[in-house]
Amino acid sequence: MNAVAVEGVWKFYGDFPALRDVNLEAASGACLALIGRNGAGKTTLLRAIAGFSKTGKGVIKILGTSPREPATRRNIGFIGHGIAVYDELSARENLTLYARLYGLPDPRQTAIEWLERTGLERVRDGLVREFSRGMRQRLAVARAFLHKPSVLLLDEPFTALDDRAIAVLQSLLRDSLAEGRTIVLSTHQLREALELASDVALLVRGQVAFHGPCTPEMVADPGLVYRRHGEG
């Protein structure tokens, strides 16, 4: 059973097909890099996989069931364009909140742990609105990882991160893969993503133009996939 399975998925905005007959899968422990130009449908696809919107046609399964099942939701970690933490709450309050929502046994302790892991220990009681951008990004990462999800869905996670945040994220992702978790990430930052990726999928205007393993060739020359399979 694949960790993430997308079968024959179409997604419409009104009558406009943003996703057209998309078939993809990611096996357990794989890291799938989703690449494509702006407007190709990467965000739409990731959000559909995460269960934020229903598809017009087709089926999406995470760990064999619908992404909206509560048990499955417990196993999904999502980072979108927004950091999804509250400006008026402190870093610790934010993480404790999410730990509670995910039903973790010791929310306060989990929050502290993840503040340490992302280097936010010293500002734990600071309000998020006072944080720098890099700090906010690291908190977002903590939020997505703290319930130890088996499947991580990340929408352009490296965009606008500072060096420290990139390092934190890469290290967390490598650890996650080592622990057998599955990652699907969409990206413009080809280099960082392809270094981690085991598989690559290229989206062109809502369709999958290429889907295959990530080769050393691709890592050395990130534009290769676009040139070979994209519309140029």
10 sits near another protein (criterion: CB under 8 A): no
- Amino acid at position 214, single letter: C
Q: Closest Cα to residue 199, out of 24, 61, 80?
A: 24
C-beta of 139: minimal distance to another protein in Å? 10
- Amino acid at position 1, single letter: M
78 sits near another protein (criterion: CB under 8 A): yes
Looking at beta carbons only, is 51 or 157 nearer to another protein? 51
Cβ neighbours of 142 (radius 10 Å)? 26
**Residue whose structure tokens are 């989206």:** 203
109 sits near another protein (criterion: CB under 8 A): no
Task: Calculate the dihedral angle through the C-alpha atoms of 21, 32, 51, 112, rounding to the nearest 10 degrees.
Answer: -170
227 sits near another protein (criterion: CB under 8 A): no
158 sits near another protein (criterion: CB under 8 A): no
Write the CB contacts of 136 (distance below 8 Å, at least 6 apart in sequence).
Answer: 83, 85, 128
Cα separation of 70 and 210, whole Å?
32
Chain centroid to CA 144: 9
Contacting another protein (CB under 8 A), which of 10, 27, 74, 170? Answer: 74
In this chain, which stretch among 25-33, 99-107, 164-172, 193-201 interacts with another protein, using CB under 8 A? Answer: 99-107
83 sits near another protein (criterion: CB under 8 A): yes
In this chain, which stretch among 10-18, 21-29, 115-123, 160-168 interacts with another protein, using CB under 8 A? Answer: 10-18
100 sits near another protein (criterion: CB under 8 A): yes
Q: Which residues bind another protein (CB under 8 A)?
A: 12-16, 39, 50-54, 56, 68, 70-71, 73-74, 76, 78, 80-89, 93, 97-98, 100-103, 127, 143, 205
